[in-house]
Amino acid sequence: MTMTREEAKAKVIVALDVPTREEAMVLVQQLHNEVGAFKIGMQLYNSEGPDIVRDIQAEGGKVFVDLKFHDIPNTVAQTSKVITGRKAFMFTVHAAGGHTMLATAAEAAKEMAAELQVKKPILVAVTVLTSISQQEFEEEIGVKRPIEEQVVIWAKMSQAAGLDGVVASPKEIKAIRQACGEDFVIVTPGIRPTWAAANDQSRIMTPKQAVEAGANYLVIGRPITKQEDPVKAAQMIVEEIMTAEI
Ligand code: C5P
């Protein structure tokens, strides 16, 4: 079964990895009808402050707040309430914070959404950063098991704690889907259409491959934002996703 254009658009999250509000807003104005959401990372959030969330929403864009919270449960829970109050579409916490931190964050987001009568953000955990090598994982972080095994352990823990899903590299999608089932949300960066440069990403998949592997959302930055015509690039990606067999 293939999907409609609207379903395919909803899967695309544009990473706004730009330093200023001005640059971000140009992209939002160009792309808000072409994609599902915009991801704000720590660079843009910290340079422009939380009002950037409101500014993007005012243009009709949904916002994925990717600040990867990792602190004691109470601090993360209170912050989850703040982010829910800002009507984020999605936000991230670190699985390394442990079950209690994740469960408290999920509960807090749920409570706040009910209190304000807003949609609960999709809450996803970051597991092992893809920049960490197996050697660093064992020697510096001190975990003596294959990274992929740890990713699945943390995905299952996140699910048990009431999170909606995880952020995962393309090569981890299948194992997580198998361990956590069909309803678990998998958000995948490292996406490169065949016509785009790989840049610094090494374990990449095309949009079609990632959706066929089981990704629910694709985080795509430079293959859209650094193209001469970002609208055309986004449309080509959406059309490619529409051809995915799922
Ligand atoms: O430009 P590009 O498509 O590579 O951007 C990918 C986005 O996904 C960036 O915002 C990057 O920080 C993020 N990301 C990633 N790999 C991870 C986690 C997040 O590329 N493992």
For the chain, 246 residues long, give each residue's pLDDT as a single digit of tens.
Answer: 789 999 999 999 999 999 999 999 999 999 999 999 999 999 999 999 999 999 999 999 999 999 999 999 999 999 999 999 999 999 999 999 999 999 999 999 999 999 999 999 999 999 998 888 999 999 999 999 999 999 999 999 999 999 999 999 999 999 999 999 999 999 999 999 999 988 888 778 999 999 999 999 999 999 999 999 999 999 999 999 999 998
Q: Which residues contact 128 (CB under 8 A, 6 or more apart)?
A: 137, 147, 150, 151, 154
pLDDT of residue 1: 76
Task: Detail the DSSP E strand segments found in the chain.
Answer: 12-15, 37-40, 63-69, 90-94, 122-126, 165-167, 185-188, 217-220
**Between helices 21-31 and 230-242, what is the axis angle to 10°?**
50
Closest CA to 86 of 53, 38, 48: 53
Show the 3-state SS of 56-86.
HHHCCCCEEEEEEECCCHHHHHHHHHHHHHC
**What is the CA(182)–ligand 1 centre distance, in A?**
24
Q: Which atom of ligand 1 is nearest to the CA of 191?
A: 3
pLDDT for residue 200: 85
Write down the catalytic residue from 39, 68, 81, 208.
Answer: 68
Percentages helix, strand, coil for the chain (3-state, rounded to 5) are: 50, 15, 35
Cβ(85)–Cβ(65) under 8 Å? no
Measured CA to CA, the distance from residue 224 to residue 34 in angstroms comes to 11
Residue 220 main-chain phi, psi, to 5 deg: -130, 125
Give the model's pLDDT for residue 130: 85
Nearest CA to ligand 1 atom 5: 221
CA–centroid distance, residue 14 to ligand 1 (Å): 10
Q: Is there a catalytic annotation at residue 68?
A: yes
Q: How far apart are CA 52 and CA 20, in angstroms?
A: 10
- pTM to 2 decimal places: 0.96
- Measure the CA–CA gap between 220 and 237, rounded to whole angstroms: 10
